[in-house]
Structures are given as structure tokens and as C-alpha cells.
């Protein structure tokens, strides 16, 4: 890319409302954009240099790191074409529902360098879907009770 394209790409990443995060091979956060600041409640200065654990709910960390190690060792992931849906945690400890896609970054020799993720908070949609399912279940139960 030329200088203008680099500058444009940097501005897009920096200003995107979706969270854009890059973690190196060891799972340490190297890039944390403004969208990530808004979503997770931590500034770039607070997040960069820390483990991804700061956004992963504690009970999900063992599974996350098993998968991370497998991906870093193989350089391959089964994720990448379809968004993943996972819970996340904010600085204040509250949880959120996330959809995200990942981009594997590899060095010139094809070895995994790290992973970039583009994350979107879908908590409201998830709550609405849950409420609709509850309403459908209640209506179905009422209908079944009326036919007995």
C-alpha cells in the first residue's frame, strides 16, 4: 500500500464503531481501536499489552486458550467464514453478547503471528430473540392447554 492507502486504512480501523482487536501469537493485545474502547470500557492504553482474558468471561477462558493454542500451532482455524457468537465481559464486569469474525495473520514463512478480530455487540438482538422464543413457548403452551 502507498502512504495514502495506509493512512486511510489506519483511520478506518481507528474510527470503526465495531471493535477491532489484534492479539499476537501469545494472546497479548497489540491493537485496540475506539470501537473496542466503547464496547469494553477500557482505553487502548489500558488494554494494549494485556491478555485477551480481559474480555473473555472467566468460565470460558480454558476452552478459549485450548483453541487458541491449537490455532497458533497449526496456523489454521475452522472459523473465518461465518461469524462466531460468544459472550464477552466489560471492564465493569457486565457481560455482553458478541458476534465476531477473525483474520489469521501469518508471517512470510506461513507461521501464525496472531489473530485480528472484528467484534459487534449483539446483546440487544440476543435479548429480543430470547424474549420472542419465550413468547412463542408461552403461546404454544397456552394453545396446547386449550386443546386438552
**134: which strand partners?**
none
Share of the chain above pLDDT 70, in %: 89
Instruction: Read off the pTM.
Output: 0.80
Confidence check: pLDDT of 147 > 70:
no
Compute the residue count for the chain: 148
pLDDT tens-digit map of 8-38: 989 999 999 999 999 999 999 999 999 999 9
Domains and CATH numbers, the chain: 3-123 (3.30.450.20)
Confidence check: pLDDT of 143 > 70:
no
Contact predicate 87/60, CB 8 Å:
yes
pLDDT tens-digit map of 123-136: 887 677 777 778 88
Quote the cell numbers at residue 1: 500500500
Q: Parallel, antiparallel, or unpaired: how do β-strands 95-106 and 112-121 relate? A: antiparallel
In this prediction, residue 50 has a pLDDT band, given cuts at 50, 70 and 90, of: very high
Choice among 54-63, 76-85, 91-100, 110-119 with the minimum mean pLDDT:
76-85
Rounded average pLDDT over 102-108: 92
Amino acid at each position: 500500500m502507498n502512504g495514502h492507502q495506509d493512512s486511510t486504512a489506519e483511520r478506518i480501523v481507528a474510527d470503526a464503531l465495531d471493535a477491532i482487536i489484534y492479539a499476537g501469537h501469545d494472546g497479548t493485545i497489540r491493537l485496540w481501536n475506539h470501537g473496542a474502547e466503547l464496547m469494553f470500557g477500557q482505553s487502548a492504553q489500558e488494554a494494549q499489552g494485556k491478555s485477551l482474558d480481559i474480555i473473555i468471561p472467566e468460565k470460558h477462558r480454558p476452552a478459549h486458550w485450548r483453541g487458541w493454542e491449537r490455532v497458533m500451532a497449526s496456523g489454521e482455524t475452522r472459523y473465518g467464514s461465518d461469524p462466531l457468537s460468544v459472550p464477552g465481559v466489560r471492564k465493569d464486569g457486565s457481560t455482553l453478547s458478541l458476534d465476531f469474525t477473525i483474520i489469521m495473520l501469518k508471517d512470510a514463512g506461513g507461521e501464525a503471528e496472531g489473530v485480528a478480530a472484528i467484534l459487534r455487540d449483539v446483546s440487544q438482538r440476543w435479548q429480543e430473540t430470547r424474549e420472542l422464543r419465550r413468547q412463542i413457548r408461552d403461546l404454544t403452551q397456552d394453545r396446547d392447554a386449550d386443546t386438552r
